[in-house]
Amino acid sequence: MASFVDRVVLHASGGTGGHGCVSVRREKFKPLGGPDGGNGGNGGSVILRVDGQSTTLLEYHHSPHQTAPKGDVGRGDLSHGSHGQDLVLSVPQGTVVKSHDGEVLADLAREGDEFVAAKGGMGGLGNAALASPKRKAPGFALLGVPGSARDLVLELKSIADVALVGYPSAGKSSLIAAMSAARPKIADYPFTTLVPNLGVVEAGDVRFTVADVPGLIEGASEGRGLGQRFLRHVERCAAIVHVIDCATLEPRRDPISDFEVIETELSRYEVDPSAATSTPLVERPHLVVLNKVDVPEARELADFVRPELESRGLRVFEISTASHEGLRQLSFAMAQLVDQARRDAVAEDAVEPEPVLRPKGFSRRRAQEFTIRREERNLEPLYRVLGEKPERWIQQTDFNNDEAVGYLADRLAKLGVEDALFKQGARPGDAVVIGDATDSVIFDWEPTMMSGAELLTSPRGTDARLEELVRPTRAEKREDYQERKDARAAAREELETERRAGKWTESVEAARARRAARSEDRPDSDPQTEG
């Protein structure tokens, strides 16, 4: 099972925001308590942080999907939902965050650096927060927005000042063990080192880190051996030390050819822009170490090839990791290169950029918050509205609530979407899409929907602008009047038919005539006392 992982694909998802609450306060002797729905809590974010607790990306190799907690929903009595806690993921120092396309998003090179991998969703507002003088008791609330989700590539690049490079079994692990307290695995077979090893070395007042990179072979920059996988750990180093085995018994190998092969592989490797410096590896300070001079044949070979290497402008050191010969001089030479690199870095950081002078009264133009793209669907025009705000408002809207849909129309009108559609040549009834193809809402555009909230006089949860009002014509009014007149005539005829059949003793007209005659015979009688 793998114990060291320096590249993983992380699927990070922020928490979903909680929904707002629709509630009206109901209390004795307070019939008009007003809206008291609370807001939903924000979802948690996924944060990558360097805290010094991890040295590998192995955890995310086994668990690549990381999701932050979601926010709680709002409740009545102005009870707001709790926010989801941020999910903090510990990453090693030197982690580079890239997008799926290879774009460098962050370089977490120092302890305490952090990067928001996926932002949590916004919680929805309750109806109490949506109340206004023109909308005193909203019958809707905003929904919580889902958190962002994206795939990230995490690459670990060792933070070291000096890199030890060379063929397998050249003695790099033995050298780092002899110069520091590191105890890497050492054996007498090739590719013993399968992971980069780090060791801290002190030379005088300079303290620096040495990285033991797994062995390189010819063709490492093209993928042979382990070189291409671990060459990224050399990118941040200020100096490179070639460790050459002078006691090798392999045919067709000698110190000069070994040095040239490794130099060729370093020259072919392209430094990633995320490294601390863009200087090619072959152009950085080099030291050459002729190792294993405790062997008599190796010392003779080292004395033979040393003049040729020095003629190329290289500093050469003869050492023995077994007897510790030459290690002190080598450590101070490394410290000198590291100290000079640090001085140069401080000088570059000290250069302050020139201030930008702007004329008085200068103001930046407000960035356009949305764009409208004209498309065609079935040979008919279609207008697609794209923008952070419109797309978020779509996610916040409950389309089962007419009042919420009317509120969305007001927000879009205030943002200027209606004016922009007019400029694009949109006509009433044209299809308008808000959002991209995967998460979008389509509707038929009606400019009358883009009116103010002063028309919202309908009951809670409804919108008068969404009701289909059909005004009858004069012909329809005449037809309705005639139908009601015919219905009354039919009712009278039915009553007369029942009277003639013996169900009634007298007709309605006879009863009226009888009462009129009785009132004429007694003109002085009080009409209130008559039965």
- 380-386 sheet: strands from edge to edge: 371-377, 380-386, 431-435, 440-444
The phi, psi pair for 191, rounded to 5°, reads: 55, 45
Q: Is 35 annotated as a binding residue?
A: no
* Residue 215 marked as a ligand binder: yes
Q: Which region holds residue 460: left if phi is over 0, alpha if psi is between -120 and 50, else beta? A: beta
191 is in an annotated binding site: yes
Residue 320 counted as an annotated binding residue: yes
Residue 389 is assigned to a ligand binding site: no
Question: From CA 493, how far away is CA 268, in angstroms rounded?
Answer: 109
Q: Is 353 annotated as a binding residue?
A: no
Residue 168 annotated as lining a ligand binding site: yes
For residue 268, report the phi and psi dihedrals to the nearest 5 degrees: -80, -20
Report yes or no: 208 and 335 within 8 Å, Cβ to Cβ. yes
167 marked as part of a ligand binding site: yes
Lookup: tokens for 384:
């697609």
Check the annotation: does 213 bind a ligand: yes
Handedness of CA 210, 59, 109, 216 (dihedral sign): positive
Specify the DSSP class assigned to residue 251: T
**Crossing angle for the helix pair 255-268 and 296-311, to the nearest 10 degrees:** 50
DSSP 169: T
Which residue pairs from 110-115 have beta carbons closer than 8 angstroms and sit at least 24 positions apart in sequence? Answer: 110/50, 111/50, 111/51, 111/52, 112/49, 112/50, 112/51, 113/49, 113/50, 114/47, 114/48, 114/49, 114/50, 114/88, 115/47, 115/48
What's the length of the chain?
531
d(CA 252, CA 192): 22
What CA–CA distance (Å, rounded) separates 289 from 309? 11
Per DSSP, helices labelled H in 180-326 are 227-230, 255-268, 296-311
Three-state secondary-structure class, residue 81: coil
Does the annotation list 41 as a binding residue? no
Query: Is 322 marked as binding a ligand?
Result: yes
Distance CA 187, CA 307 (A): 31
- Residue 371, marked binder: no
Residue 293 annotated as part of some ligand binding site:
yes
481 is in an annotated binding site: no
Closest to 244 in 3D by CA, of 232, 231, 258: 258
Q: Half-sphere exposure (CA, 13 Å, Cβ side) for 485?
A: 6
Q: Is 173 annotated as a binding residue?
A: yes
Consult the annotation and say whether 294 binds a ligand. yes
Q: What is the DSSP string of 346-358?
A: HHHHH-PPPPPP-
- Sign, Cα dihedral of 44, 49, 51, 53: positive
If phi > 0 it is left, if psi is from -120 to 50 it is alpha, else beta; for residue 433 that is beta
Judge whether 292 is annotated as a binding position.
yes
> Cα–Cα distances in Å, from 494 out to 450, 490, 510?
54, 6, 17
* 497 marked ligand binding residue: no
What is d(CA 125, CA 127) in angstroms, rounded to the nearest whole number?
A: 7
Rounded Cα gap, residues 192 and 172, in angstroms: 10
Query: How many Cα atoms are found within 13 Å in the side-chain-facing hemisphere of 4?
Result: 12
Give the residue ranges of the annotated binding site for GTP.
166-173, 191-195, 212-215, 291-294, 320-322
Please give the annotated binding residues, written as ranges: 166-173, 191-195, 212-215, 291-294, 320-322
Binding residues for Mg(2+): 173, 193
